[in-house]
Amino acid sequence: MRIAMVSEHANPLAVVGGVDAGGQNVHVAALARALARRGHEVLVHTRRDSPSGPRRVPLCEAVTVDHVPAGPAAEVPKDELLPFMAGFARELAQAWAPSPPDVVHGHFWMSGLAALSAAEGLDVPVVQTFHALGSVKRRHQAAADTSPPQRLRLEAAVGREVDHVLATCSDEVDELVRMGVWRGRVDVVPCGVDLDLFTDSGPAAPRTRRHRLITVGRLVERKGIETVLEALSALHDTELVIAGGPVPDALDGDPDVTRLRQAALRHGVADRVHVLGRVLREDMPALLRSADVLVTLPWYEPFGITPLEAMACGTPVVASRVGGLTDTVLDGVTGLLVPPRRPDVLAATLGGLLRDPSRLHGYGRASVERARSRYGWDRIAAETAQVYERVVADRRAAARLAVAT
């Protein structure tokens, strides 16, 4: 099958950890590779954000990344990309017209807009993964939400017009239905984890004799790291390692790093907090294996790949009871779920867990088993391909019926 993926801001070749580079980049790259291993041919279309380099770059055998000219050939925040989506769609339509793909898969709402526009008249089915929903972002960020004002209306239209939606968690399904998307055209296909890289065997990063907590990801306020810092003040003989944000040489002066360092000082834990900055992906497993617990306390979370990576490394997870985390973290089995923005509850939960090494070990073993049995990319690709095959078959059946009548 020839598959066209559209990922307007999340280039699968990008370095994870930038302002708009995170889980979606990992998802698109890993899914494309896994689909290629199953014998499919994948072309990923992303917006050109640099004036240099070729338009098409191989990612691996049978996967190519197409850098589509749309707007300036420079980095643009994703919330400012909407005006360039018409041009993006025109470029896609021109690329697809001579030999249309069998199926198009949009990643993020603006990619869905471009994919639907470009596929119009080509009789090509469009599958959509939103990765995050504007209605959820608006609910939690309110005035701090920088999304275009048209997002909620256009996002709902994409959900209603595509052939099928792949939700990454059960919580998202309910949100989509409230947006007017028909439940029968939604399947839950979660993100996956690289089980070759993230394993429970291998070296662990050096650590002190203190208990070690780790949090990984972008350092923006909504990720809830300040809640962890406040809880740390009640956890003696415990350190927190913060991985993410700018490269280590650029930590000083970064506004998010400054905010977190000030919070650590305010709560009297600065001597037990280590801000590492961006960590190379190949170094992340050893860092995760060095921790007693991964703590992730976002206000909301469409899915969350980092908890899966920790689980695959045998590290228990304490997470917010929100979004996709309620699917991946089995409360009382692979870790514990707590309410977001409740440092008192977090401190009590972590304190009890860190004092119980047998429970930590049990959660760690269960985490590895869950990651391996449910979240390997080969399984995720197989489930995704089944949806592709179904929508392609439905389109062909509809075309035959139209001819017959």
67-99 confidence digits (pLDDT tens): 999 999 999 999 999 999 999 999 999 999 999
Asked if residue 200 is part of any domain, the answer here is no
Which stretch of 100-104, 131-135, 155-159, 225-229 has the lowest confidence by average pLDDT? 131-135
Question: Residue 15: is its pLDDT beyond 60?
Answer: no
What pLDDT shows up at residue 379?
A: 97
Q: Are residues 155 and 42 in the same domain?
A: yes
Smallest CA-to-CA distance from 355 within 235, 241, 273, 233 is with: 235
Q: Identify residue 161 by its one-letter amino acid code.
A: E
Instruction: Say yes or no: 20 and 100 in one domain.
Output: yes
Q: Verify that 385 and 358 share a domain, yes or no.
A: no
Closest CA to 371 of 291, 282, 304: 304
The rounded mean pLDDT for the chain is: 95
Instruction: Report helix, strand or coil for 246.
Output: coil
User: Residue 343: what pLDDT?
Assistant: 98
- Are residues 149 and 231 located together in one domain of the fold? no
Spatial CB neighbours of 70, under 8 Å, sequence gap ≥ 6: 8, 47, 48, 84, 85, 87, 88, 91
Using alpha carbons, list the distances in angstroms from residue 323 to 81, 242, 320, 352: 26, 22, 9, 25
Q: Considering the chain, what percentage of its residues have pLDDT values greater than 70?
A: 98
**Do residues 13 and 109 both lie within one domain?**
yes
Structure token digits, residue 328: 């991946």
Range name among 107-116, 142-151, 158-167, 262-271 with the lowest pLDDT average: 142-151
Give the whole-angstrom CA distance, residue 297 versus residue 179: 26
Is residue 290 over pLDDT 70? yes
Return the pLDDT at 288: 98
Report the pLDDT averaged over residues 155-183. 96
Instruction: Look at residue 142 and tell me whether its pLDDT is greater than 90.
Output: no
* Per-residue pLDDT at 14: 80
- What pLDDT score does 402 carry? 73
Residue 206 lies in a domain: no
Over residues 217-225, the mean pLDDT reads: 93
Question: Would the pLDDT of 19 be above 90?
Answer: no
Report how many helices (DSSP H) and strands (DSSP E) the chain contains, helices first: 14, 14
> ∠ CA(380), CA(202), CA(330), 5° rounding?
45
* Residue carrying the six token digits 């603006």: 110
Element (H, E) at 308: helix 305-312
SS3 369: helix
338 and 384 both lie in a single domain: no
Residues 135 and 244 in one domain: no
* Residue 256 located in a structural domain: yes
Whether 381 is covered by a domain: the verdict is: yes
In total, the chain counts a number of residues equal to 405
Residue 399 in tokens: 């075309």
Residue 203 inside a domain? The answer is no
Statement to judge: residues 166 and 252 lie in one domain = no
Residues 370 and 383 reside in one and the same domain: no
Confidence band (pLDDT; 50, 70, 90) for 404?
A: confident
Q: CB-side exposure of 21: number of CA atoms within 13 Å? A: 17
Question: Does 399 have pLDDT greater than 50?
Answer: yes
What CATH number did the domain enclosing 121 receive?
3.40.50.2000
Give the count of beta carbons closer than 10 Å to the beta carbon of residue 198.
24
Are 225 and 353 members of one domain? yes
17 — pLDDT class (breaks 50, 70, 90): very low
* In contact, 122 and 2? CB cutoff 8 Å: no
Q: Range of 293's domain?
A: 211-374
Judge whether 97 lies within some domain: yes
Q: What is the pLDDT of residue 362?
A: 98
| Total domain count, the chain | 2
Pairing type for strands 63-68 and 56-60 reads antiparallel
What does the pLDDT look like over 340-363, one tens digit per residue?
999 999 999 999 999 999 999 999
Residue type, position 21, single letter: A
Distance CA(186)–CA(23), nearest Å, equals: 21
